[in-house]
Amino acid sequence: MPGFSRLALDVEQLKMKHLDILAHIFLILGLGVGVVAVYRLRFDSTDQFLVILVITFFYLLWGTTYHHIKGEIEKKLFVEYLLIAMIVVICAFLVFVI
Amino acid sequence: MIHKKVIHHFIPHQKEDGLHHRAKALNLSYLASYLLILVLFGAGLYLIKLKAPQILGQVMFSADQIIALTNAKRAQSGLGVLSSNGQLAQAASAKAQDMYAADYWAHNSPSGKTPWNFITTAGYRYLYAGENLARDFSDASSVVDAWMASPSHRSNMLDTNFKEIGVAVASGDLEGREVILVVQMFGTPVSQIPTQQPLVQASPVPSPQPSPAQVAQVKEKPPSAPSPSPKVSPSPTPVSVAVELPSLETAQNTQSTVLASRQFSLVKGVSFGLVGFVFLLFALEIIYTLRKNHLRLRSGVLAHLAILAFILLAIWYAVAGAVL
């Protein structure tokens, strides 16, 4: 039943598209909360650094979960997320802690 | 061919194998090298700060600048300027030295000394008093901007009850770090008119005990002072008393000056530059991929762009220092 398979494929693709949109909205919302928190704490550098740490951890968790659901999680991708997270954390450490 | 090799470092491309390749500058090895650059920069900065801090450059930062900027903010709000008072400056200096000696960052010391203790010890009899604190700023205008951005500190800065000000700026070691402390004391003396009459012994004015929540914006006034003059009314209107107050010096705070390192602006610039570069590469990838239909966007690129935008904003708004 090629028509049914095609329909099932379309439904699956639609689900993935919805997942993409929802997941990215969730990510943007989380980062938005982080931006507000960092701005409001702009005269307390230690707390700002803690917020950035939490947001970076959220980013890593989001990436791992999102790509796992999509079935495309692999070592290279995870390392990419990790390297960018570490760049963010080191920058934050240099600016807000040292 | 050479220009293609250069371009392929910065934009995604499709090779002869038909596979999509990211910009080379976004390969894992390049990302690892950006991380290494940041780590080495941080380590180098730390070493320079230890061995030769003058290399980082310094900015002069004085109490006089704080007072001038405070008065400028008051003038902008249509308020009268505050006179510089030597006793308040002395109290502020004593408070700064006490914070270094007892290693604390608070309005009240661990031993229970309040800001009012320092003010009265300096010989200043006040009708109203207040205190603002700041640390780790690299210039005077950032300190004043930080206070103005905080409602409680702004309230002190623009209080119409205060007539005089004393500021101390001191560098030292606090909680294991080299910091610059700024102590700003506000006051209105019991009498603003010093007299030539002999000093009359009066029992010390008991220090008020503000609640911790009010410390940053206290407008303290002492209870009725036992004196031979008519009793001091608790109203805001100063009442002249028949005692001679210690001479209210209006010496300039020119001695209270420190040299603040330019380290923060250097770190901010380098971090912003490097993260901005990586952000631009990811943005370029998205733009190029959208324009070229035969390329597809790699997984996770949007997320990377979002987190880099977040840290860029955080660095942009970063301010050295904290207020209390």
Chain B neighbors of A27, CB-CB under 8 A: 302-303, 306
> Does the pLDDT value for residue B204 go beyond 60?
no
Over chain B, what is the mean pLDDT?
77
What is the spatial distance between Cα B199 and Cα B189, in angstroms, rounded to a whole number? 16
- The mean per-residue pLDDT over the stretch B182-186 comes to 95
> Does the pLDDT value for residue B246 go beyond 70?
no
Beta-carbon separation of A24 and B321 below 8 A? no
Of B204 and B286, more confident: B286
Q: How far is A60 from chain B (nearest CA, A)?
A: 10
> Does the pLDDT value for residue B209 go beyond 50?
no
8-state DSSP, B205:
P
Query: Would you call B120 helix, strand, or coil by DSSP?
Result: helix
Q: How far is B136 from chain A (nearest CA, A)?
A: 10
- pLDDT above 90 covers what percent of chain B? 42
Q: Supply the pLDDT for residue B316.
A: 85
Read off the tokens for B244.
């001679």
Q: Is B34 on the interface with A (CB under 8 A)?
A: yes
The model's pLDDT over B73-120, given as tens digits with 9 standing for 90+, comes to 999 999 999 999 999 999 999 999 999 999 998 899 999 999 999 999
Q: Supply the pLDDT for residue B291.
A: 81
> Does the pLDDT value for residue B200 go beyond 60?
no
* Short-list B270, B214, B232, B199, CA closest to B56: B270
Q: Supply the pLDDT for residue B261.
A: 60
Q: Which of A87-96, B231-240, B264-273 has the lowest mean pLDDT?
A: B231-240
Amino acid at B82: L
* Short-list B134, B185, B193, CA closest to B164: B185
Q: Supply the pLDDT for residue B206.
A: 38
Measured between its terminal Cα atoms, the distance across chain B in Å is 60
Query: Which residue from A minimizes the CA distance to B315?
Result: A95
What is the spatial distance between Cα A68 and Cα A76, in angstroms, rounded to a whole number? 13
Q: Supply the pLDDT for residue B234.
A: 36
Read off the tokens for B98.
């006490």
Query: Which residue from B minimizes the CA distance to A70?
Result: B299
Mutate to test the interface with A, among B310, B317, B323 (most CBs of A within 10 A): B310
Kindly give the parts of chain A with pLDDT less than 70.
1-4, 8-9
Q: Supply the pLDDT for residue A28.
A: 94
> Does the pLDDT value for residue B288 go beyond 60?
yes
Q: Is B274 on the interface with A (CB under 8 A)?
A: yes
The model's pLDDT over B145-172, given as tens digits with 9 standing for 90+, comes to 889 988 889 999 999 999 999 999 988 8
- pLDDT above 70 covers what percent of chain B? 71
Mutate to test the interface with B, among A42, A62, A84, A97 (most CBs of B within 10 A): A84
